[in-house]
With several copies, the nearest count.
Chain A
Amino acid sequence: MFNKVLIANRGEIAVRIIRACRELGLIPVAVFSEADRESLHVRYAEEAYYLGPSPSRESYLRGDKIIQIAKTCGAGAIHPGYGFLAERDDFALQVEEAGLIFIGPRPSAITAMGDKAVARATVTAAGVPVVPGTEGEGNLTDEEIIAVAPQIGFPLLIKATAGGGGKGMREVQNIEELPNLISAARREAEAAFGDGNVYLEKLLLDVRHIEFQILADEHGNVIHLGERECSLQRRHQKLLEESPSPFLDEELRQRMGEVACKAAQAVDYLNAGTIEFLVDKDQKFYFLEMNTRLQVEHPVTEMVTGIDIVKEQIRIARGRKLRSSQEDIRLKGWAIECRINAEDPYNSFLPSTGIITQSILPTGPGIRVDTGIYAGFAISPFYDSLISKLICWGETRGEAILRMRRALEEYRILGVKTNIPFHQNIIASHRFMAGQFDTRFVEERFSMNNSEEGKEELAKIAAIMATLVEHRHHQKASQIFRKSERDTSNWKWLGRWERVNR
């Protein structure tokens, strides 16, 4: 059985997996690109190997090199994290063929769920309801897609068959804009996954995105760890997740959980995975897709169930039985995660790069931070903009929200712009507090300048602070000016030098 694990990833998730390895007494091995030599995952690993230049294609997507390194250093298993190679069935297969263990599902399950079109067909056959969309298996041409679109009806979504994380996705309002958007989606999908195939899905409105965390072992046990509410998205990127969902009751949770386990069983699923659903206001739910990997938002489930999902992944990969049965799983309290991205919420969420000059973390009871950054680290433009995850637990949703509010206010990241103010505004919005939102909320009904409470008082304080800062700048500037006028020390020194050398 393996005792050394290579982590084929970077950033916060690589750090997360390294920690799980260390806490299980296993040896964590990091790989890194040129830009990441000084990143935390390299610093925290027991061993670290250089992969290649900074672009992912030359480093974190180089499955061949990664397998070679694992074999050379004696790592018996590879954990892919999320993104990069995590949902590439060819990579999982190559890992197996190299005699190593892939910490994740079997390649066949990745294949089945990875082609979103195949996945839809498979779970439909198992009796799981799906969102209406293009039928049959992938590799549709532009012409085929354009032909079938009117039957599904507008608005609809173009999605990458190899997709995930909102990449290669486009919303389409009418047939005219379809061709251009297909090209754009294919281009982005090709860049992100090395696969430009896309398919169509009906764009459901007034729905929530709710997903179920699944664990499955080699011994036929499949359980779910309850749901995560992920409706707060922007451009199909999740921004804030919570568990449980304020929208589900125990009866619906149980029904959806059972369907989720059924969907996983339909592809003979192994290890951790997530079944994503859309749920409409009548509590009807539709299978959206399965993510055959660890999710960014897994910590909220860990906080409410007490189960360490990454450690469970490793235990399952070692052939162990699940330590909990479905009856053991209880959701205790409430957890919320805010994804902290290096992007400017006041300027169209444009990514922000630079060197972190200060990082003061919120700490204290009920707070968890998963991050890969520190003061002095450079945020490069090569990878995605997620730099930290702030997770708060509370006995109730109310307590979790209040805790998140104070934690966001405490969190100081300087050197790049972050979306912390976005989260502060979301958390303070009445609709969020009341649990009244859907997947369109952020884009259609949310504004950064929503909260009016005490705004005038704050504006006055801001004006005072700006004035005090400018006043100081003026004073400082005039002092420097005066100083240099008076500063004759160089001339004195020169005078002496001349006398000495005369």
Chain B
Amino acid sequence: MKYVASLGGQEVEIEINGEDEIIVDGERYAIDFRSIAGQPVYSLLINGRSYEALVQLSEEGSEVLLQGQLFLISVDDERQRRLRQTSGPQLTERGEFHLKSPMPGLIISVSVREGQEVARGDRMIILESMKMQNELKSPRDGIIRSLRVKSGDNVEHHQVLLTVG
């Protein structure tokens, strides 16, 4: 099976044929790869080097935390890649963005109202959790389409707070 892993601008071609060998950008490597203790922690021996990383799949790809560095990597197999190459520009900058609460907490203040225009980086909500006040900012320019919370509300983890359209 052939894959292309992309991170930043860089692309790496990886071919996985068996359990103990891979080909990376044309070069052959002996590997031994396994997850540890049923956790998303993986140990990789590759040509004798020992690496260990936390690998978590998210909506945007794989997050790999390795030696204190976080890498965001998207992996496509060949078929997916061809599909993507022909499908034109991505719509992520255009679709609606749902601001979800990153943790349970208390809404301290809401500094936007429905219909208001916001710019990338504008502060929208202050959420208190673990005795700290945290600013939640807009990830892009847009208009507040729906505002679902008000100051004083207790919110759950992942609860949608508002939508930027």
Q: Which A residues form the contact surface with B (CB < 8 A)?
A: 30, 37-38, 42-43, 45-50, 73, 167, 184, 187-188, 191-192, 342, 346-348, 350-353, 357-358, 374-377, 381-385, 408-409, 412, 414, 420-421, 423-425, 428, 448-449, 451, 455, 458-471, 473-474
Determine whether the beta carbon of B75 is less than 8 Å from that of A192: no
Q: A347-B102, A463-B75, A466-B75 are in contact. List 12 more A-B contacts (CB 8 A).
A: A37-B32, A350-B102, A353-B157, A357-B39, A376-B37, A376-B38, A414-B41, A458-B67, A459-B8, A466-B55, A467-B5, A468-B31
Inter-chain CA distance A37–B5, complex, in Å, is 27
Determine whether the beta carbon of A421 is less than 8 Å from that of B131: no
Chain A residue at minimal CB-CB distance from B76:
A470
Chain B residue at minimal CB-CB distance from A341:
B130
Given known contacts A188-B133, A460-B12, is B73 in contact with A30 (CB within 8 Å)?
no
Counting chain B CB atoms within 10 Å of each CB, the highest count among A353, A381, A463, A470 belongs to A463
B120 interface hit (Cβ, 8 Å):
no
Determine whether the beta carbon of A409 is less than 8 Å from that of B54: no
Determine whether the beta carbon of A421 is less than 8 Å from that of B37: no
Given known contacts A467-B14, A469-B42, is B50 in contact with A30 (CB within 8 Å)?
yes
Residues of A within 8 A of B102 (CB): 347, 350
Determine whether the beta carbon of A381 is less than 8 Å from that of B130: yes
Chain A residue at minimal CB-CB distance from B24:
A464
B110 interface hit (Cβ, 8 Å):
no
Determine whether the beta carbon of B7 is less than 8 Å from that of A463: yes
Chain B residue at minimal CB-CB distance from A350:
B102
- Give the secondary structure class of B's interface: strand
Determine whether the beta carbon of B66 is less than 8 Å from that of A468: no
Determine whether the beta carbon of A374 is less than 8 Å from that of B37: yes
The number of chain B residues with a CB under 8 A from chain A is 62
Could you tell me the distance in whole angstroms from the C-beta of A342 to the nearest C-beta in chain B? 8
B83 interface hit (Cβ, 8 Å):
no
Inter-chain CA distance A429–B45, complex, in Å, is 27
B119 interface hit (Cβ, 8 Å):
no
Chain B residue at minimal CB-CB distance from A475:
B1
Determine whether the beta carbon of B73 is less than 8 Å from that of A384: no
Determine whether the beta carbon of A421 is less than 8 Å from that of B36: no
Residues of B within 8 A of A47 (CB): 48-50
Determine whether the beta carbon of A38 is less than 8 Å from that of B55: no
Residues of B within 8 A of A352 (CB): 103
Counting chain A CB atoms within 10 Å of each CB, the highest count among B61, B65, B132 belongs to B132
Residues of B within 8 A of A469 (CB): 42, 55, 57, 62
Counting chain A CB atoms within 10 Å of each CB, the highest count among B16, B37, B54 belongs to B37
